[in-house]
Structure 1
């Protein structure tokens, strides 16, 4: 499964891991995904979605 937020569509980010001697190696910075049960007003039922923690904080803004 793709590591992507279902509300904000955020994905992982590419970056560098820099050692003490300043040698750069590539790394992937994954997003903090959580599985959450949310009440859907449109479907009138609980749905289970994978969303990032930033979207959990501002969940009231999204009309699911």
Structure 2
């Protein structure tokens, strides 16, 4: 299974690791995925999803009490 957020669709990022002598080697920046239980209104049950921490923050900010 790929490391991909099920809500936002975010995935890994390619970048460079730069040494002191400015030699660049490729590296992969992984996404910060967390397993989270979310209540589904359509299925009326808890669903476990792999979502990014930014998506978790957006979900908690959009809840109105």
Partner of 2:31: 31
Partner of 1:47: 47
Unpaired runs of 5+ residues, structure 1, are none
Unpaired runs of 5+ residues, structure 2, are none
Q: Normalising to structure 2: TM-score of the pair?
A: 0.89
Q: CA deviation at 1:53?
A: 0.2
Size of the alignment, in residue pairs?
A: 61
Q: Normalising to structure 1: TM-score of the pair?
A: 0.90
